[in-house]
A and B are shown apart, each in its own frame.
Chain A
Amino acid sequence: MNPNVLALLPEIILTLTGVLVMVAEPCLAPTASRKPLGWLAVLGTLAAGAASWYQLAFGTISAFSGTIQVDAFSIFFQLLIAAVALVTLLGSLDFFEGNASHAGEYFALSLFAAVGMMFMACSVELLMVFIGLEISSISTYILAGFRKGQATGSESSIKYFLLGSFATAFFLYGVALAYGATGSTTISAIAQGLGASATPRMAFLALAMIIIGLGFKVSAAPFHVWTPDVYQGAPAPVVGMMSTAPKAAAFAVLLRITFSGFPEMHHRWAILMWILAALSMTIGNLGALLQKDVKRMLAYSSIAHAGYLLVAFTALPREGISAACFYTAAYAAMNVGAFAVITQVSGYSEQARSIEDFTGLALRRPLLAGTLSFFLLSLIGIPFTGGFFGKFYVFTAAMHAGHAWIAVIGLLNSGVACFYYLRLLAALYTRRSQARELAQPDHVLSHRHVSLPAEAGLTLAVAATLILGIMPGPIVALAERAGLATIPAPHLLAPPDRDQAASLWCTQHPDECNTHVDTANR
């Protein structure tokens, strides 16, 4: 197969499916169910995931004049994005409840967002990254305001759009500065140009700008202010997706840029990351303590989790990258799961918003409450869940690099965090008070039946969280391959066994180390 086609196979499949959904949508009668379109989108996502998996056998694929590089690292994130999109789509097949007139667009936009994110994960050229970023951002801006006619939804969308475009501007400015300082916008060329750069300060400024831009996207403090409002206003399935998949993609980009684009400045940007991590964890967890709205609380919790993830950046390259990859996967599984449960509980109209509204859920819908509790326990970081192993890997990596204090800050933060997660957890299992029952006789918790595809999506999320907590071996292996795949900087900070590990891997798996270069374009 032509390397160019091979490299972008998942993206091509997703785009074609998205276009197909858009074309099919007007062909359906206005009153007809939009579910077939949803199933089409699900199939497309599955095919894209399969295509990513298929790429894994080819080792590193370099395409489009070296602007696209598909390796274990990008495939890890692409699989993750496909899985998140799958759970979200399954959960929202029956989401619209008669408000289905725009459902087709919803499915198409979800697919396009996924295309953009996958594109970000596999681009090694900053302008290509920017294009991916824009594709995914614009789709999510629209998705955030998808419940038309609701003021909070529009507010959410506008806020996300304004601050998001501000952030992308920062990113673009950083790219321009990087070009000025190193003469290139390709990540590997930046790394080479960095040594010869006459203006290292400008190069660092460029990196700082890029970090700010991406910091907005991953909602790291102090660039987090948009998060609570946007999450509160956007529909729950959309929040489930946009709190996980775009963050994963942005972290993928950030990992590539920092570890392979600016390896020589590791000691400098590691400090930046240290500060961002400490701030995000602390602000996120303290902010969540007093929230009454469940989605707002989870928004702050997602800020805190971005902080835990940033801790991995302070670590040594290989360990740091694989820990970050693993944490992203664990976080995505539990967070998308938590929002999928909230989608099922509160439905399209989202009457149930506050922790008070969720009180007594276990008495009415024990299985959903149990599932939500499981995800909350994973978010706390209780053993035998993905969240625990994620934290464990991240903090182990940081400790290996000698950053014991960030680990202390982080784990103390997880102690604070359990307070607010437990508040929701305890509410789920408590009876509603008499006074409240009288004041509000018809309960806001809907009694909708959880549809079969939604059940499948939830099962997938539960299984993923559990497997990541009990049998993390295969995912860790994949994450370590991802860590090896990003361009090594052997002279720098690397543990001495890294090159040996890389060469050992190549002798054991010779086909995976072949580089398929598109000679046609050279």
Chain B
Amino acid sequence: MNLDHQILTLITFIPLAGAILLALLPDKGKTMQWGALAITLFTFLCTLHLPAHYAYNAPAGSFQFDQNHPWIPSPAIHYHIGVDGLSMWLVVLTGLLAPLGVLASWNAISSRRKTFYVLFLLQQVAMFGVFVSLDLFLYYAFWELSLVPMTILIATFGRTANRRRAALKYFLYAFIPSAILLVAVIWVYTRTGTFDLPTIASQHLLSGTSTAMWLASLAFLLAFAVKVPVFPLHGWLSDAVAEAPTAAVMVLAGKLGLYSILRFYFGLFPAEAHRISPLMIALGAVGIVYGALLALTQNDLKRLAAFATLGALSFITLGIFTFTIAGLDGGIFHILSESISGAALFVLMGLLYERYGTYDMRELGGLAAKLPWMVTLFVITTLSVVGLPMLNNFVGEFLILSGAMAHHHAWTAVATTGVILSAAYMLLMIQRVFYGSLGDKPEAMRTWDLDPREHLALWPIAILMLVMGIASPFWMRAIDQTGTAITQQHEDLPQTIRIESETYSQAAPSQITTASAHTRIPEATR
């Protein structure tokens, strides 16, 4: 049987079936853990079908494994799903992180396990849905849905009494821009008469007065930038990260927002995206330094990791808004590698918390002698986060910086300091937690080094970091298709705006004259 036409539906809805199954099973012993592990591992195996059967030589900008069925006749909403080089790897990544999340929560979640794993699986459904949807409406539905399980997870399983506030903050930060996003989505529909993204993007159906286009594009960008988060919209991040349980933190930030920018913002509003790019590059560069400086001052491990994440996400923002192939490829690759390193970091921190009941670095210290395996993995992860050559993050950061260097010397120079600062705070953290004199907590408590389950969860990730650092072309083949497609999107525009042909030398084909600059043809106007 050829699975190609059903595989994406399967991947998306297996976790849903699993969630329903878990909800019906009794919450006894380790039923929930084993059940969730089986479901997530099976989903992960399904996602591996994608890279195995992906056509790597397909033309840039095409979607594979796609399924297109009418869902609702009026307005014309389709169940249209498919992946390209970008979303394929994100789907695989989401699949990979899920079993890791279950392993990390194995003992950490001791009460109300059923609620936890059901919500965790629902979160998977929403994320897969976001990554595979090609219909704007379907996409929006999954996008909004992704908020709900996460909010309840934070509110219910948060670490401190502050959890309800953190959950509410997260929800409101994300929901209000999403509400405006819905207006913009409907606006796109009223202008084009379709929700189908490939149709709109490839035929340049979207047109409007320049004010309307700007307002709509800003609505899209705002909703996505909050979810990334891009500096200065990161207000929710540190609270949510500090409260959320490990499995939820791994999927909290970054992927959804960045993917949405790449797919939908760039896809629908290429001209506006190009014009706003200097601002976004500046915000990215500032975010890198800002995140690093704040990370330096934290005592709480999780908050440190939150600001480190902000820095890494700012790197990606910087990269993708350069609109160079190097920057885009690097940015997309960095989404993958940052997620993996970040997940490993959060899992390790969670393991420390399980043992000592604290994330406060002042109470820890001198653990290297007690937990030799843990410190090994911690250092590998740290080096990966810092961006040591041969490890995964180096590839992305190098490509991003080289892509940005071409046109934005000053901001790139600022961003490069972030690399140094990240080494500073990460190594300082290692020093404070694992070396020096033994802290109060470790002295008082007898603990254990990694057990087999934890080894099983972490070593594949550590190896993957190394493989991604050495054999990055394996991933780049598919990613490059998307990167190329995005750079071409803008060149393909039926018109250009004069100011851009001056700013970006590669932008304007010569046959397009300024006379056509204002002809956003109202053919699609209804």
Q: Sorted from nearest, which 6 A-B pairs have the closest CB atoms?
A: A383-B141, A415-B176, A411-B179, A415-B179, A407-B183, A383-B144
Pairwise interchain contact B148-A382, C-beta atoms closer than 8 A: yes
Pairwise interchain contact A407-B145, C-beta atoms closer than 8 A: no
Pairwise interchain contact A476-B73, C-beta atoms closer than 8 A: yes
Residue pairs across A and B with CB atoms within 8 Å: the count is 73
17 contacts between A and B (CB under 8 A): A382-B147, A382-B148, A384-B145, A392-B137, A392-B182, A399-B186, A404-B187, A408-B180, A408-B183, A411-B182, A415-B172, A415-B176, A426-B164, A473-B72, A476-B72, A476-B74, A480-B74
A408 to B180, CA, bound (A): 6
Within A380-428, the residues touching B (CB, 8 Å) are: 382-384, 388, 391-392, 395-396, 399-400, 404, 407-408, 411-412, 414-415, 418-419, 422, 426
In the assembled complex, how far is the CB of residue B240 from the closest CB belonging to chain A, in whole angstroms? 15
Partner of B186, one of A407, A414, A415: A407
Pairwise interchain contact B172-A418, C-beta atoms closer than 8 A: yes
In the assembled complex, how far is the CB of residue B340 from the closest CB belonging to chain A, in whole angstroms? 29
- B171 on the interface (CB 8 Å rule)? yes
- B356 on the interface (CB 8 Å rule)? no
Pairwise interchain contact B148-A411, C-beta atoms closer than 8 A: no
Partner of A418, one of B140, B175, B180, B182: B175
A396 to B75, CA, bound (A): 9
In the assembled complex, how far is the CB of residue A282 from the closest CB belonging to chain B, in whole angstroms? 14
Within B139-156, the residues touching A (CB, 8 Å) are: 140-142, 144-145, 147-148, 151-152, 155-156
Complex contacts, B155 vs chain A, CB 8 Å? 426, 429-430
Complex contacts, A392 vs chain B, CB 8 Å? 137, 182, 186
In the assembled complex, how far is the CB of residue B451 from the closest CB belonging to chain A, in whole angstroms? 31
- B189 on the interface (CB 8 Å rule)? yes
Pairwise interchain contact A377-B148, C-beta atoms closer than 8 A: yes
Write out, one digit per residue, whether chain A residues 37-79 have a CB within 8 A of any chain B CB (1) or not (0). Answer: 0000000000000000000000000000000000000000000
Complex contacts, B151 vs chain A, CB 8 Å? 422
Pairwise interchain contact A382-B74, C-beta atoms closer than 8 A: no
Complex contacts, B182 vs chain A, CB 8 Å? 391-392, 395, 411
- A228 on the interface (CB 8 Å rule)? no
Partner of B145, one of A383, A404, A480: A383
Within B52-74, the residues touching A (CB, 8 Å) are: 72-74
Pairwise interchain contact B141-A388, C-beta atoms closer than 8 A: yes
Complex contacts, A391 vs chain B, CB 8 Å? 182
Q: Which residue of B lies closest to A469 (CB)?
A: B141
Partner of A422, one of B144, B145, B171, B183: B171
Complex contacts, A426 vs chain B, CB 8 Å? 155, 164, 167-168
Complex contacts, A407 vs chain B, CB 8 Å? 183, 186
Pairwise interchain contact A419-B168, C-beta atoms closer than 8 A: yes
In the assembled complex, how far is the CB of residue A286 from the closest CB belonging to chain B, in whole angstroms? 15
Residues of B in contact, count (CB < 8 Å): 31
Pairwise interchain contact A422-B168, C-beta atoms closer than 8 A: yes
Complex contacts, A193 vs chain B, CB 8 Å? none
A3 to B481, CA, bound (A): 67
- A261 on the interface (CB 8 Å rule)? no
- B298 on the interface (CB 8 Å rule)? no
- B190 on the interface (CB 8 Å rule)? yes
Taking A382-B147, A388-B141, A418-B171 as given, write out 18 further A-B residue pairs in contact, using a Cβ cutoff of 8 Å, ordered by the A residue number: A382-B144, A383-B140, A383-B142, A388-B144, A391-B182, A392-B182, A395-B183, A404-B183, A411-B180, A412-B179, A414-B179, A415-B172, A415-B175, A419-B168, A419-B172, A426-B167, A430-B164, A472-B72
In the assembled complex, how far is the CB of residue B110 from the closest CB belonging to chain A, in whole angstroms? 15
Complex contacts, A422 vs chain B, CB 8 Å? 151, 168, 171
A408 to B181, CA, bound (A): 9
Complex contacts, B147 vs chain A, CB 8 Å? 382
Complex contacts, B176 vs chain A, CB 8 Å? 412, 415
**A411-B179, A415-B176 are contacts. A396–B148 as well, Cβ < 8 Å?**
no
Within B160-181, the residues touching A (CB, 8 Å) are: 164, 167-168, 171-172, 175-176, 179-180
In the assembled complex, how far is the CB of residue A76 from the closest CB belonging to chain B, in whole angstroms? 16
Within A472-504, the residues touching B (CB, 8 Å) are: 472-473, 476-477, 480
Complex contacts, B167 vs chain A, CB 8 Å? 426
Complex contacts, A472 vs chain B, CB 8 Å? 72
Give the secondary structure class of A's interface.
Answer: helix
Give the secondary structure class of B's interface.
Answer: helix
A415 to B172, CA, bound (A): 7
Complex contacts, A430 vs chain B, CB 8 Å? 155, 164
Within A359-381, the residues touching B (CB, 8 Å) are: 377
Q: Which of B148, B183, B189 has the most CB of A within 10 A?
A: B183
Residues of A within 8 A of B (CB): 377, 382-384, 388, 391-392, 395-396, 399-400, 404, 407-408, 411-412, 414-415, 418-419, 422, 426, 429-430, 472-473, 476-477, 480
Pairwise interchain contact A396-B171, C-beta atoms closer than 8 A: no
Complex contacts, B152 vs chain A, CB 8 Å? 429
Pairwise interchain contact B141-A384, C-beta atoms closer than 8 A: yes
In the assembled complex, how far is the CB of residue B163 from the closest CB belonging to chain A, in whole angstroms? 9
Q: Which residue of A lies closest to B212 (CB)?
A: A404
A476 to B75, CA, bound (A): 10
Q: Which of B73, B152, B190 has the most CB of A within 10 A?
A: B190
Q: Which of A377, A383, A480 has the most CB of B within 10 A?
A: A383
Complex contacts, B186 vs chain A, CB 8 Å? 392, 395-396, 399, 407
In the assembled complex, how far is the CB of residue B146 from the closest CB belonging to chain A, in whole angstroms? 10
A391 to B182, CA, bound (A): 10
Q: Which residue of A lies closest to B114 (CB)?
A: A366
Pairwise interchain contact B189-A396, C-beta atoms closer than 8 A: yes
A472 to B74, CA, bound (A): 10
A481 to B321, CA, bound (A): 48
A395 to B75, CA, bound (A): 12
Complex contacts, A414 vs chain B, CB 8 Å? 179
Q: Which residue of A lies closest to B156 (CB)?
A: A429
Complex contacts, A412 vs chain B, CB 8 Å? 176, 179-180
Complex contacts, B156 vs chain A, CB 8 Å? 429
Complex contacts, B190 vs chain A, CB 8 Å? 396, 399-400
Q: Which residue of B lies closest to A389 (CB)?
A: B72
Complex contacts, B171 vs chain A, CB 8 Å? 418, 422
A269 to B73, CA, bound (A): 31
A392 to B183, CA, bound (A): 9
Complex contacts, B74 vs chain A, CB 8 Å? 476, 480
Q: Which residue of B lies closest to A396 (CB)?
A: B186
Complex contacts, B172 vs chain A, CB 8 Å? 415, 418-419
In the assembled complex, how far is the CB of residue A475 from the closest CB belonging to chain B, in whole angstroms? 10
A412 to B172, CA, bound (A): 11
A386 to B187, CA, bound (A): 21
Write out, one digit per residue, whether chain B residues 118-149 have a CB within 8 A of any chain A CB (1) or not (0). Answer: 00000000000000000001001110110110
In the assembled complex, how far is the CB of residue A362 from the closest CB belonging to chain B, in whole angstroms? 8
A412 to B176, CA, bound (A): 6
A404 to B190, CA, bound (A): 11
In the assembled complex, how far is the CB of residue A481 from the closest CB belonging to chain B, in whole angstroms? 12
Complex contacts, B168 vs chain A, CB 8 Å? 419, 422, 426
A418 to B75, CA, bound (A): 26
A377 to B167, CA, bound (A): 15
A418 to B171, CA, bound (A): 9
In the assembled complex, how far is the CB of residue A322 from the closest CB belonging to chain B, in whole angstroms? 9
In the assembled complex, how far is the CB of residue A349 from the closest CB belonging to chain B, in whole angstroms? 30
In the assembled complex, how far is the CB of residue B30 from the closest CB belonging to chain A, in whole angstroms? 21
In the assembled complex, how far is the CB of residue B399 from the closest CB belonging to chain A, in whole angstroms? 36
A396 to B180, CA, bound (A): 13
A399 to B140, CA, bound (A): 17
In the assembled complex, how far is the CB of residue B137 from the closest CB belonging to chain A, in whole angstroms? 8
Q: Which residue of A lies closest to B155 (CB)?
A: A426
Q: Which residue of B lies closest to A380 (CB)?
A: B175
A520 to B462, CA, bound (A): 87
Q: Which residue of A lies closest to B143 (CB)?
A: A383
Q: Which of A392, A412, A414, A473 has the most CB of B within 10 A?
A: A392
A391 to B190, CA, bound (A): 16
Write out, one digit per residue, whether chain B residues 66-110 have a CB within 8 A of any chain A CB (1) or not (0). Answer: 000000111100000000000000000000000000000000000
